[in-house]
Structure 1
Amino acid sequence: MASQSGNLWVLLGLGLAGIFVLTRKLKEHKEDLGAFIQKLHLLPPPQPAPPKAPHPLTALTFAFSDLFDIHGHVSTFGHPDWATSHQPASSTSPAISALVQAGATALGTTLVDPFAYGITGQNKHYGTPTNPAVPSRLPGGSSSGAAVAVAANFVHFSLGIDTTGGVRLPAAFCAILGFRPSYAAVSHVGIIPVSTSLDTVGWFAKDPNILRRVGHILLQAPLAIQCGPRQIIIADDCFQHQIVPLDRSSQVLIKATEKLFGRQVLKHINLEDYISSKVPSLETCSSQKTNGEVKTSSLKLLANIMQFIQRHEFGLKHAEWMDIVKPDLHPAVTAQLHGKLEISDAEIENSKSVRSEMRAAINSLLKDERILVIPTVADPPPKLGGKEILSQDYQSHMFSALSIASISGCCQVTIPLGFYDKYPVSVSLLARHGGDRFLLDTLQTMYTTLQEQADIASKSKPSSNVVSKEQSAEIAKEKGNQAYKDKQWQKAIGFYTEAIKLCGDNATYYNNRAQAYLELGSYLQAEADSTKAINIDKKNVKAYFRRGTAREMLGYYKDAFDDFTYALVLEPTNKRAATAAERLRKLFQ
């Protein structure tokens, strides 16, 4: 027996221990839900003799995305051609080594999107892992297999790579915890890079205590007195873009905070406005028009910058693979990579300026043990084979919230809050760069109360859903009206958008948003919203007037004249419409 076990140990330079490596391809997708690429057992060192304490991760098992180096093993990087054209690794990733030395046992490598470049979890070469939380929906990527392995209870925790959301997004879709550490807080050595200035080694778990224990090993965080947050900041505008009602998302967090720390620690903020004021370099990007937009929100601009950085750095590292990459990726991702690879110095410098200013802005906002609360994602997981993931709106919604931590380099944890309409709900907590241990401690403190409040919210008034939606829409509209009066046009648009999502057949909501768009100079949006208001209510005088105003500014003078004229037919005493119609009549004389 002793000689047999001696043959199984292979020294990998871990000092105190050896590691037994056994690999085998999995033949059946069903037995592991498609999460694993290979079985690869990495055994921890023997336990120290008493009275010394056992290893901190003893009895825990884990898996990791198939892009970490393991001595003698060839990673797939999500693509079979990569595996067949690269040599086995000569050493093991420090992150993996640290976990094994700490007593954890690795059970295998897990699937990623091809070249870890994607957010869907789909891989045409190895299949799409089944989402245990919602089997008919995508698991999210790029670290899809690592998330599924935890969600299905195959392992206690797992490691993945989070570049633009590769850990946070599948955590949200699979209803588990996901942690993206501060940039460079965990060593990047021994991983295949996707985007060197955005990549982080993140991890998944179901138990916040396990998430925290793993963090202490990977972060090499010194022991410190645990302290609660001095302030919890709710990004109200970000939650307005969610499909999930506020009482199932931000309100759950608010109630848990009040119960644990008191109402005085709560603060509300419009994050878009804050970023716009603190990151002036974004103005350089604001001239970039998307679908005719004259002005793009700060978070959408951040998302554009994030995708630009990823595309540029991926090209620098893997230029020889670009022809292979594009056909094999999801169409939504391929569209990004079809962009030019020749990047101007000005574009690179501007992205550096945005990142520097964003780091300073978030660190300033979250200094002195403060926490920022945002939704992890705006939409539910896409259907298997669904086309919504291809839409620009879906991509924009998805990346907007994810870009905050990716660009600023701060740490973020995704927290599941049960289900709404059969789909997972989650929120995220963010702390300043370097506040990783504080964030993990805060999660540990809040988790149980958050789950209790989420459970209460899920059971409250299920029969009055329609009424509550209408009431919530009216509340959002009134908030929008107040923001409009305060000349906070973008904030007003956010509130009106929330009202429209809750009740999409109300002409007033579209009409009010059209007026806010006019104030911003977003005339195409104003025209579109006015048209929707008219389709709902053919006698809406204000909608005709606002559409006429938008069309006049766009140079559609004949159509604008018709709108002003029809407004006068409906309301002959409308002096503004009469003046506008007369002004345009003179153009035709």
Structure 2
Amino acid sequence: MEEIAPLVPWIGDGPLAPPADGPLDGLRVAVKDNIDVAGWPTGAGNPVWLAEHAPPGEDAEVVARLRRAGAPIVGKAHMDELAYSLAGTNVHYGSPRNPLAPGHYTGGSSSGCASAVASGDADVGLGSDTAGSIRVPAAFTGLYGWRPSHARMPASGMVPLAPTFDVPGVMARDAATLERVALALLDPPAQQTVALEWLLVPDDLWSEVPQRVREAYEPVLGRLRGLLKADRTPLFKRPSQWREAIAAFATVQGAEAWRLLGPWISSTTPAFGQSIGARFAHAARLTDHDVAPAREKVDHAGASLRTRLRGSVLAVPTVPFTPPALTEDFPRVRLLPFSCLAPLAAAPAVTLPLAELDGLPLGLTLITQPSTDEDLLALARTSLV
């Protein structure tokens, strides 16, 4: 897979000028190519989509908020096709380079944002996260990444994949910048936040992590145990519940993706990369008989997770391995069980670049109960850096 620069080449007119003297004055933003910037094409990582959709007439609300806060938009960033991947590759355009681990996967689908921020071409990456598309590339490129609580940030002006799980998200090179940007984007919380007391490090999840990877996380987990009371109780009552929840997530995601994008795919028959094409083909075969029980399991798993998250911080690997080499197959199935937990719970998550193994980056994800984004971001900034 050819490695490419992170920003799409057909945006070359320089930054969009923001208002002066905002709280984000001068922070350069790379915007994922599924989020609208007025007057600039939204290509969603696919050349047919790009050709068939006129440039939008107005900014997505999250873009407008950043511009009002003083942040210039420096370009649109490459992405995986229609955001339906976590690898960071694109059969049409290539793979945005990983500055921290050249020749290794950048992770996706917000791959260009991660590459742009990690390389210094931007200070902030504004992307989207459905099943880990902010957190995985942030972990692979040594960045901080934040997926907000559902309904705390508007997703209008963003090409949808699976609205039950889709949220905009942000990447930055440091926790303080991540928090500044998040506070400029968030809607007010719908409820009072709750003091964080417990650190959840459930045995069922961590027993699935290779020993050397667990050992690499131990220093940061030790710091967290010094701040919060540790609880190793399994997150799920039985192992099959975890597997069933992840399978249900994938079914609901696929059904929503096909409902929204299937008519366009059927009418235009665009060429997709092999793995993304297979995913859409599978989604096209889903029936109500498949989707109805899956949605029930998603709802049940989400409610159970939210109960466990009350007053707690769940710590899990963002990805239970370092970024693989581009010459290897991408092991998507191994990371979904971890990256899907936050979207199942509609909960905020932050990935922290505070571990490495064999000179390659690892990210640790912290998840809290919905609407407590500010507390989670403050924990990342003040206690762990």
Tell me the TM-score normalised to structure 1 length: 0.61
Which of 119, 126, 138 aligns to 1:171? It is 138
Higher relative contact order (CA 8 A, sep 6+): 2
Structure 2 match to 1:215: 182
Structure 2 match to 1:88: 55
CA distance in 2, matches of 1:327, 1:422: 37
Q: Deviations over 1:213-247 (max 9, x none)?
A: 1111111347x999862111112332222233423
Deviation of 1:205 after TM superposition, in Å, equals 0.6
CA distance in 2, matches of 1:325, 1:308: 22
Question: Any conservation in 1 of the 2:213–2:321 contact (CA below 8 Å)?
Answer: no
Structure 1 unaligned spans of 5+: 1-28, 48-54, 277-295, 449-589
Deviation of 1:300 after TM superposition, in Å, equals 2.7
Which of 78, 81, 100 aligns to 1:133? It is 100
Write out aligned runs for 1:280-319 (5 A): 297-319=240-262
Deviation of 1:355 after TM superposition, in Å, equals 2.4
Question: Any conservation in 1 of the 2:99–2:119 contact (CA below 8 Å)?
Answer: yes
Question: Any conservation in 1 of the 2:254–2:283 contact (CA below 8 Å)?
Answer: no
Q: Deviations over 1:460-510 (max 9, x none)?
A: xxxxxxxxxxxxxxxxxxxxxxxxxxxxxxxxxxxxxxxxxxxxxxxxxxx
Runs of 4+ with deviation above 3 angstroms = 224-228, 323-327
SS at match of 1:158: strand
1:231 corresponds to which letter in structure 2?
W
Q: Deviations over 1:415-473 (max 9, x none)?
A: 1123211221221100111121111111112221xxxxxxxxxxxxxxxxxxxxxxxxx
CA distance in 1, matches of 2:53, 2:262: 16
Write out aligned runs for 1:122-521 (5 A): 122-221=89-188, 229-243=196-210, 244-249=212-217, 251-259=218-226, 261=227, 265-273=229-237, 276=238, 297-322=240-265, 327-329=271-273, 331-339=274-282, 341-367=284-310, 369-387=311-329, 389=330, 394-448=331-385
Q: Deviations over 1:235-287 (max 9, x none)?
A: 233222223342311x223320244x26xx121122233xx4xxxxxxxxxxx
1:374 corresponds to which letter in structure 2?
V
1:36 corresponds to which letter in structure 2?
L
CA distance in 2, matches of 1:254, 1:81: 45
Q: Deviations over 1:388-441 (max 9, x none)?
A: x2xxxx332111111111222111111112321122122110011112111111
Deviation of 1:176 after TM superposition, in Å, equals 0.8
CA distance in 1, matches of 2:247, 2:192: 39
CA distance in 1, matches of 2:283, 2:338: 26
Deviation of 1:351 after TM superposition, in Å, equals 2.4
Q: Does 1:41 align with 2:9?
A: no
Distance 1:327 1:382, change over 3 A: farther
Question: Any conservation in 2 of the 1:326–1:334 contact (CA below 8 Å)?
Answer: no
CA distance in 1, matches of 2:38, 2:29: 17
CA distance in 2, matches of 1:182, 1:428: 14
Tell me the TM-score normalised to structure 2 length: 0.91
Identity of aligned residues (%): 26
1:363 corresponds to which letter in structure 2?
R
Structure 2 unaligned spans of 5+: none
CA distance in 1, matches of 2:79, 2:289: 33
Q: After alignment, is 206-215 or 66-75 more displaced?
A: 66-75
In terms of Rg, which structure is larger?
1
Q: Deviations over 1:78-135 (max 9, x none)?
A: 0111111111212111100001101111111100011221111111222211111111
Distance 1:125 1:342, change over 3 A: closer
RMSD, aligned α-carbons: 2.3
2:263 corresponds to which letter in structure 1?
E
Question: Any conservation in 1 of the 2:138–2:144 contact (CA below 8 Å)?
Answer: yes
Aligned residues: 378
Distance 1:268 1:77, change over 3 A: same
Structure 2 match to 1:535: none
